[in-house]
């Protein structure tokens, strides 16, 4: 870390103390942001921490829908995000007006939405899920329940395949998780025959099928800590390798390559918009702030709180 970054880190710590602010960072953030955060976690953990914090300000180092989720849960707190342009291609693949029309066309279905959605989509949802609890929440409904699942078609297909359900899927996807190359992962597996292929369920079915383990970001991290394996080919956003390596210094983590070898497409360009400098400025000037319409918030909080309640009952 250079002197400028050290000064920024010191400044961020001072501002957090002075303003009673807390930094929540997603596993897909740059390593220097993960290192300064009060908590690092996946979407479920970030929502859980936001719901219980006593801080006056929450700085969400992640993408916009994560900030919205924190604001929905904590309307009286100031929720900041270092870069307001940090969006999400998966959330963008589910425009609220189109999704609402789809829901209205199927009044006999309940609606389960992945947390990677806007507040307006959550407002027409019965229960929110994350990749950590999606299977258990889907299975908590009777087998013959008609379900709409959105917006990720890959996660929806995966949950259908492991639960035997036939949920009606919204046709959305994440541009990072859809980019991984099956051929290149198979070639890597030949190069590292003892490596375990570990995969996020937002990836396409053929990659899931050749994987040794499939799970949420938090589940992948836990697997690498408890596994006897020494090498892992990691098919999710490569930022999580920072945390994996911290827990397992003796293990090797190989990022799964994207189809296009000319881009760093296994990094989420939205997540990487956040920097230490932007984090410092957002704490100093208390902007950009996440704002959610109160009418939408009151509807959106219901399916999020249902998810948090079921997750707590399941010990997740």
Distance CA 271, CA 87 (A): 8
Binding status of residue 69 toward ligand SF4 by CB under 6 A: no
Smallest distance, ligand SF4 to C-beta of residue 3, A: 31
Residues with Cβ within 8 Å of 263's Cβ and at least 6 positions away in sequence, in order, are none
Residue 182 CB coordination number (10 Å): 17
- Only segment of 14-22, 77-85, 118-126, 168-176 that touches ligand SF4 (CB under 6 A): 168-176
Contact present, 122 and 303 (Cβ < 8 Å) = yes
From the list 7-15, 49-57, 127-135, 174-182, the region that binds ligand SF4 by CB under 6 A is 174-182
Does 174 contact ligand SF4 by CB under 6 A? yes
Q: Which is nearer to ligand SF4, 28 or 102 (CB)?
A: 28
Q: Which is nearer to ligand SF4, 46 or 88 (CB)?
A: 88
Q: Is 63 in the site for ligand SF4 (CB under 6 A)?
A: yes
Residue 89 interacts with ligand SF4 (CB under 6 A): yes or no: yes
Share of the chain residues as helix, strand and coil, in percent rounded to the nearest 5: 45, 15, 40
Greatest pairwise CA separation for the chain in angstroms: 60
83 part of the interface to ligand SF4, by CB under 6 A? no
Closest residue by Cα to residue 200 from 167, 239, 165 = 239
At its nearest, how many Å lie between ligand SF4 and the CB of residue 237?
Answer: 5
Rule CB under 6 A: choose which of 29, 69, 113, 116 binds ligand SF4: 116
Spatial distance between the Cα atoms of 234 and 109, rounded to a whole number of angstroms:
35
E strand segments, the chain: 21-26, 39-41, 57-61, 78-80, 110-114, 127-129, 147-150, 168-169, 196-199, 213-214, 231-235, 252-255
What DSSP string runs through 225-274? HH-S-SEEEEES-TTHHHHHHHH-TTSEEEEPPBS-TTS-TTS-TTGGG-
Stretch that binds ligand SF4, among 15-23, 118-126, 212-220, 268-276 (CB under 6 A): 268-276
Q: Work out whether 268 is an interface residue with ligand SF4 (CB under 6 A).
A: yes
Under the criterion CB under 6 A, does residue 68 sit at the interface with ligand SF4?
no
Query: Minimal distance in Å, beta carbon 155 to ligand SF4?
Result: 10
Provide the token pair at 268: 């989420």
* Total residues in contact with ligand SF4, by rule CB under 6 A: 13
Segment interacting with ligand SF4, rule: CB under 6 A, options 31-39, 44-52, 169-177, 220-228: 169-177
Considering the rule CB under 6 A, would residue 176 count as an interface residue with ligand SF4? yes
- State the binding string over 220-259 for ligand SF4 (x if CB under 6 A, else -): -----------------x----------------------
* Smallest distance, ligand SF4 to C-beta of residue 104, A: 26
Q: Does 218 bind ligand SF4 (CB under 6 A)?
A: no
- The answer to whether residues 271 and 62 touch, using CB atoms and an 8 Å cutoff, is yes
Enumerate residues 6+ apart whose C-beta is below 8 A from 215. 131, 198, 200, 201, 222, 223
Give contact residues for ligand SF4 (rule: CB under 6 A). 28, 63, 88-90, 116, 174-176, 237, 268, 270-271
């Amino acid at each position: 870390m250079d002197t400028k970054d050290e000064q920024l880190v010191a400044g961020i710590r001072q501002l957090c103390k002075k303003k009673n602010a807390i930094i929540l960072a997603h596993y897909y953030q740059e390593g220097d942001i993960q290192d300064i955060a009060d908590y690092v976690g996946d979407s479920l953990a970030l929502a859980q921490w936001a719901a219980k914090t006593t801080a006056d300000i929450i700085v969400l180092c992640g993408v916009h829908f994560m900030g919205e989720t924190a604001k929905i849960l904590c309307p009286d707190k100031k929720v900041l995000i270092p870069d307001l342009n940090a969006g999400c291609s998966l959330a963008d693949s589910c425009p609220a007006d189109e999704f609402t029309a789809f829901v209205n066309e199927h009044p006999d279905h309940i609606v389960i939405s992945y947390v990677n959605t806007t507040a307006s989509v959550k407002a027409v949802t019965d229960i929110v899920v994350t990749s950590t609890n999606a299977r258990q929440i889907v299975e908590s409904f009777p087998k013959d329940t008609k379900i709409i699942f959105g917006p990720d078609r890959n996660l929806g297909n995966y949950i259908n395949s492991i639960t035997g359900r036939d949920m009606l899927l919204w046709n959305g996807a994440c541009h990072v998780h859809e980019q991984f190359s099956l051929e290149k992962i198979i070639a890597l597996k030949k190069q590292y025959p003892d490596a375990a292929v570990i995969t996020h369920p937002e990836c396409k079915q053929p990659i899931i099928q050749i994987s040794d383990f499939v799970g949420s970001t938090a589940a992948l991290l836990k697997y690498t800590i408890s596994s006897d394996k020494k090498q892992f080919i990691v098919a999710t956003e490569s930022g999580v390798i920072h945390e994996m390596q911290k827990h397992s210094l003796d293990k090797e983590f190989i990022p799964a390559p994207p189809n296009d070898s000319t881009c760093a497409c296994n990094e989420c360009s939205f997540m990487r918009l956040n920097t230490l400098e932007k984090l410092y400025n957002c704490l100093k000037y208390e902007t950009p702030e996440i704002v959610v319409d109160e009418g939408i918030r009151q509807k959106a909080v219901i399916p999020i709180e249902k998810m948090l309640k079921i997750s707590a009952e399941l010990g997740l």
